Amino acid sequence: MSTAGSWREYPQRYRYEAAVCDKCGKWHFPPRLVCDGCRNETFTRKAMRRTGKILTHTVIHMPPAAFKDESPYAVAIIEMDDGPRITTQVVGIAPGELKIGQRVRLEFRRVQADGEAGTILYGYKAVVV
pLDDT in tens, 78-91: 999 998 999 999 99
On whether the CB atoms of residues 34 and 28 are closer than 8 A, the answer is: no
Helix/strand/coil for 88: strand
Checking if the pLDDT of 34 tops 70, the result is yes
Kind plus residue range of the DSSP H or E element containing 7? helix 3-8
Helix/strand/coil for 41: coil
Handedness of CA 94, 92, 3, 27 (dihedral sign): positive
**Where do the structural domains in the chain lie, given as residue ranges?**
3-128
CATH class of the 3-128 domain in this structure: mainly beta
- Cα–Cα distance list, 49 to 13, 78, 81, 109, 129 (Å): 13, 13, 7, 17, 14
Classify each residue of 43-71 as buried b or exposed e, where b means 16 or more C-beta atoms within 10 Å of its C-beta.
Answer: beeeebebebebeebeeeeeeeeeeeeee
pLDDT-derived band at 3, boundaries 50, 70, 90 = low
Checking if the pLDDT of 1 tops 90, the result is no
Average per-residue pLDDT for the chain: 86
Kind plus residue range of the DSSP H or E element containing 28? strand 27-28
Among 5-9, 14-18, 36-40, where is mean pLDDT lowest?
5-9
Mean pLDDT of 30-55: 94
